[in-house]
Amino acid sequence: MNLEQAITTALEYEGRVHKTYSEAVEKAEHDVARKVFKTLCDEEMGHIKYLHERLEEWRSKGTVTVATLDTVLVSKAAIEAGAAKLRQRLESGGREVRGTEFESLKKALDVERETSAFYKQMVATLNDEGRRLFERFVEIEEGHVAIVQAEMDLVSGTGFWFDTAEFDLEKA
């Protein structure tokens, strides 16, 4: 796959992820879930814009500039603080988030994993210019996977946060 094909394919992946979050925003019944989906939806739109710019640059100059690609990902402490607030809401009678929002999270996790795998493949197979372009996407998409998984774990009450047990049954 050449760089133009990789960017075009990346646009397809980003389009699917954006559509998933856009639909989730529309279906969300809870403000917290809607806010999470909207934030991720906006970020994916930023990825689409960035990739369109790189594609136009490639087509006009035959090269791409690896410009800064910002992310809404915040520190782990900020995510944990937000999770604590959400946990309090859920414990005060809000476990119904498991319905529509949970299904949307499952869809989001699937498309984020697929997209992340695609970017990893591009980093492994493209030349230096392509590798540099997609390395940042790997970081960001893996962060999205972590956020979505954390949200799923939180609302499903699995007792895990970022794949770490919140409690130890043997110590209970």
What domains does the chain contain, in order, with CATH numbers? Answer: 3-60+71-157 (1.20.1260.10)
Taking the C-alpha atoms of residue 141 and residue 130, their distance in angstroms, rounded to an integer, is: 17
What would the pLDDT profile of 32-85 be if each residue is shown by its tens digit?
788 888 989 999 999 999 999 999 999 999 999 988 887 766 544 555 566 566
Q: What percent of the chain has pLDDT over 70?
A: 74
> What's the pLDDT at 86?
59
| Exposure string over 118-153, b if 16+ CB within 10 A, otherwise e | bbbebbeebeeebeebbbbbbebbbbbbbbbbbbbb
| pTM, full prediction | 0.77
SS3 readout for 152-169: HHHHHCCCEECCEECCCC
